[in-house]
Chains A and B, each alone.
Chain A
Amino acid sequence: MIDSERVVVIEGLRKRYPGVNALAGIDLTLSRGEIWGLLGPNGSGKSTLLKCLVGLVRPDAGRIEICQEPFSRRAKANIAFVPEVDNLYRWMTVQETMDFIAAFYDDWQPQRAKELLDFMRLDPKSKVSTLSKGMKARLKLTLALARKAPLVLLDEPLSGIDPSSRDRIVEGIVRQFKSEEQTMVLSTHAVGETERLFDSVIFLEEGRVRLVGSAEDLRMEYGKSINDLFKEVYA
């Protein structure tokens, strides 16, 4: 792998919370142009890992490099992060939310943002407080994909979302992900409905990488779906 293709390099990453070893030494290299599935049951360290990548959690030990730069506040400009929690202001409209986020980022693409809103069937005039959970999830994805960030991190974007919103989000990711210039990491414990999105998957267990590989290669090697493999690994 040539260096410019290494979008994320993680070495010896550790994080302990009182009584829990959230990350127990993670080594990973993510290549450009792929959609990565970050898989594992609740409490396996998925969220902590993503939060370390965006600097929301400070690791106890280890090294993170993003787009060939050591982790810094500047490196954060390369990342579009969608947290699992509701981070939208309820009193804003959809359009106001878009304008608000656009002001923070140099890589915001207004034309793309408009197309995404349309595709996600979001009305710019709607108040955030009136949106369903599924609609909010669509808006959060729109905010991430409207940026030209080389690294897109989505924390459980599909959990607890109604089927129609889920379909829109999956199709939005397939259509809008630019594999020439972007890399995406999507964490989930609902593997069956998302596995066809992934180029590669990472199985986390108790803060360690249990298995990592190309989704198609794993299907070929084990003769199993990623979902069945997931059930077996965590049985």
Chain B
Amino acid sequence: MEINFDQSIPIYLQIIDEIKRLVATGTLQPGDKLPSQRDLAAELKVNANTVQRAYREMELLGLVETLRGQGTFVCDDHQIVESTRKEMLTNLVNDFLQSMRSLGCSEQEILKRVGDGLFEDREVKDR
């Protein structure tokens, strides 16, 4: 796992986001084992307590489960892939809308821009 940390945001939140992304994209599948906390801490060069906090939060979110003596696993439930993906999409759209509005875009302008963007994107690909 590799994370390009933004050190102005709590590190444990960024670890959770990255694992969510791996789940949403199917890189990590339900039932897959996560690295041990210490291994991940060493790999990311972050404090082991930070990784522990990320794992604990993800347990509370129902994203992973820790089996005593065996390690931490992505919950063996295929619904979490879809729900994590949906959550990420919602966040992306919300962030996008907020940025567009802060630049003074009306709803209509946002829709038009997205439409234009998709059209241009298709043109580039068809070329």
Q: Besides A175-B41, A197-B46, 20 other CB < 8 A contacts?
A: A33-B49, A35-B47, A35-B49, A171-B45, A174-B38, A174-B45, A174-B47, A175-B42, A196-B7, A196-B46, A196-B50, A197-B45, A198-B47, A199-B50, A215-B47, A216-B10, A219-B7, A219-B10, A226-B7, A228-B7
Q: List, sorted by A's number, 18 A–B pairs whose CB atoms are closer than 8 Å.
A: A34-B49, A35-B49, A171-B42, A171-B45, A175-B41, A175-B42, A196-B44, A196-B46, A196-B50, A197-B45, A199-B47, A199-B50, A216-B10, A216-B12, A216-B53, A219-B7, A220-B10, A223-B8
**How many residues of B are in contact with the other chain, CB < 8 A?**
19
| B9 A219 Cβ-Cβ under 8 A | yes
Do residues A199 and B46 form an inter-chain contact, with CB atoms below 8 A? no
A177 within 8 A of B: yes
A181 is an interface residue with CB less than 8 A from chain B = no
Closest residue of B by beta carbon distance from A34 = B49
A174 near B11: Cβ-Cβ < 8 Å: no
Mostly helix, strand, loop or mixed at chain A's interface? helix
Inter-subunit contact B47/A196 (CB<8 Å): yes
Q: CA–CA, A220 to B8, complex, Å?
A: 8
Number of residues on chain A facing chain B (CB within 8 A) = 26
